[in-house]
Chains A and B, each alone.
Chain A
Amino acid sequence: MSADNLQGWARLLSDKGPALANYFLRRVAHRWDAQDLVQEVYLRLLGSGDGDVAAIRNPEAYLFTVAGNLVKEHAQMRRRAPVSTEGLPEVLERLATPCQAGNDLDQELRRQRLADLMGRLSPKCRAVMVMHYRDEMPYKDIGEALSISPNMVKKYIVKGLALCRQGMARYD
């Protein structure tokens, strides 16, 4: 992993807070360091059972905060490491990206792929996803537009999210 990328992530994370989940989405499947971070987050969550008020009051916020801090720490640690630890695949990756800021390209491609995946959902599922994520309609209104219950709307979103997630996992 190049130092540039790590700095990029560190900046991204400090700017965007919970959006750090993007980092995991991309890397959690294959890269050992992301797996490591997940393990670390998990261990803290396990420990939080012993009266950690923040974790019990809002586990989601706690999860994002712990993960964010760990990624930042990790990035700083790696930045101090000598350059020689950079593996061949990382060098290649940098060489092969001659004229683009990696993050922008990544983001744009991901969006295209996601849009592609959404286009392949079943018509109802796709309609629900687009009305929810593009048109920001509440479940109730989507349900009325498509003659289904708000509960079904939620089920379609779960289904859509799962299919997109599994579709994207192949690219990660």
Chain B
Amino acid sequence: MTDANSRASRRLTEEAATWYLELRGGGDRRTNARFLAWLQRSPQHVAEYLAIAGLHNDLPAAAAAEKAAHAQLKALAASEPSVVPFRIKPMPVQPVPSMPRARASLASRPRTLRWLAVAAGVLLVFGGGIRMAMQPMPVVPGLAYASDASAPRTVPLEDGSVVELDRDSAMVVRFDTGTRSIELVRGAALFNLGKDPGRPMTIHVGTQVLNDIGTVFTVRAGSDATDVAVISGRVAVAERTPRWIDRVAPRLASGEVPVSPVVELGGGESARVASDGRLLDHGSTDIAHATAWLPTEIRFHDMPVAQVAQRFNAYVGRPLVVDDKALAAKRISGVFKAHDADAFVAYLATLPDVRVERTTTDVHVTVVGDKRKTATKL
């Protein structure tokens, strides 16, 4: 959808919503006549109005799930600045050779750095042509996700990655055109990461940095140690030094924080790393145990087979790989026991021409006689 299209569709939705609210108070003759004329202008108006009416019916039940009390909502609302911040489009960032020096000299004064970086962001708005030494990280807003104590939460991210947040956990996600970074603030999470060679993914937990390589692993942030268990793929764990760099890292050039490697883990391995970077434990992991906190059911509605398979890959050491593009894109609905990926594979095998091949590292789902074999690694 182009910008103009999406603006027009947004405007139409807002018109329909305005009419809907207008008529809740009961319309008078003139209002009704204007409303009828609006409906008669286009079938799209009719469709959008019905859609808004449906949404309005669903909203009370959805809003009931909101846990924040009245006072909390008030406080949150009060914290919102009344001035709308600049919206800055992420720009492709060119590497600047002089950057390490700039960072070293500014690093001892994080506050100055922050203001300079903010200034850089502002300059990028007004002087699009100026190439700044600082990358516009400060203007990449972090999206915070938290789960409450009642249930784990599934968070699908825009790059196709899926994060399962354990109960009472929180993370901040920062994606821009050049990097992807997630900070696990508290609790535990399972990261089921999509591959994007152009945008490496870095996970920050306390003082540790984890570099993924298209993989599935769980992380639990403790007060004095971090536990990492890899379900499939490889993960490099490193220590960020020194501590204050943590604080300025988000404002620095993406993820290029000095690190010292601690351990590299493969599928089925786990490690416990102390907050000072010492490796406390390194061994094999029991996948069922490491994923015991995850939801026991996988529910999906009108979801592509590839995404469903990705959900199952959170629970299995041998990931499912759907080799056929058309099959990967096929939309399905259902509920499966999460720890029974075999049931899902068995279901796939009942589809016409589908063959399942198990290797030592993967389970391949292929379509027989398909010449356009394009692997969708999950």
Contact = CB atoms under 8 A, between A and B. Distances in A.
Interface residues of A, number: 75
A96 B334 contact: yes
Interface stretch (B15-23, B110-118, B239-247): B15-23
Nearest to B336: A98
Interface stretch (B59-67, B126-134, B177-185, B266-274): B59-67
A39 B335 CA distance: 35
Q: Is the interface of B mostly helix, strand, loop or mixed?
A: helix
B56 interface: yes
Contact of A95 (B20, B33, B49, B350): B350
A161 B335 contact: no
Given A59-B36, A63-B39, A134-B63, A98 B76 contact: no
A158 B21 contact: yes
A22 B333 contact: no
B119 interface: no
Given A97-B334, A134-B63, A146-B74, A21 B347 contact: no
Contacts of A59: 32, 35-36, 39
Contacts of A165: 13, 17, 51-52, 55
A121 B255 CA distance: 28
Interface stretch (B40-48, B206-214, B227-235, B362-370): B40-48
The range of chain B's interface size is 35 or more
A18 to B, nearest CB: 7
A105 B299 contact: yes
Contact of A28 (B33, B47, B334): B47
A131 B17 CA distance: 17
Interface string B302-326: 1000000000000000000000000
Contact of B60 (A42, A128, A133, A171): A133
B247 to A, nearest CB: 25
B27 to A, nearest CB: 8
A25 to B, nearest CB: 3
Contacts of A110: 58, 62
B18 A158 contact: yes
A114 B76 contact: no
B333 A49 contact: no
Interface string B322-348: 000000001111111000000000010
B55 to A, nearest CB: 5
Interface string A133-172: 1111000000001100000001001110110111010010
Among B52, B55, B77, B143, max chain A CB count under 10 A is at: B77
B147 to A, nearest CB: 11
A105 B301 contact: yes
A97 B299 CA distance: 10
A21 B335 CA distance: 26
Contacts of A26: 54
Interface string A113-125: 0110011101110
Contacts of B50: 21, 24-25, 28, 38, 63, 67
Contacts of B104: none
B333 A102 contact: yes
A59 B333 CA distance: 37
B331 A89 contact: yes
Given A21-B57, A24-B54, A135 B70 contact: yes
Contacts of A46: 40
B40 A63 contact: no
A97 B334 CA distance: 4
8 contacts: A24-B50, A25-B51, A59-B32, A114-B58, A122-B80, A123-B76, A130-B63, A161-B17
Given A133-B62, A165-B52, 5 more contacts: A19-B54, A63-B46, A98-B334, A99-B335, A105-B335
A-B pairs with the 5 shortest C-beta distances? A25-B54, A114-B62, A21-B54, A133-B63, A21-B53
Interface of B: 9-10, 13-14, 17-18, 20-21, 23, 27, 32-33, 35-36, 39-40, 42-43, 46-47, 49-66, 68, 70, 73-74, 76-80, 143, 299, 301-302, 330-336, 347, 350-351
Interface of A: 18-19, 21-26, 28, 35, 38-39, 41-42, 45-46, 48-49, 55-60, 63-64, 67, 89, 92-93, 95-100, 102, 105-106, 109-112, 114-115, 118-120, 122-124, 126-136, 145-146, 154, 157-159, 161-162, 164-166, 168, 171
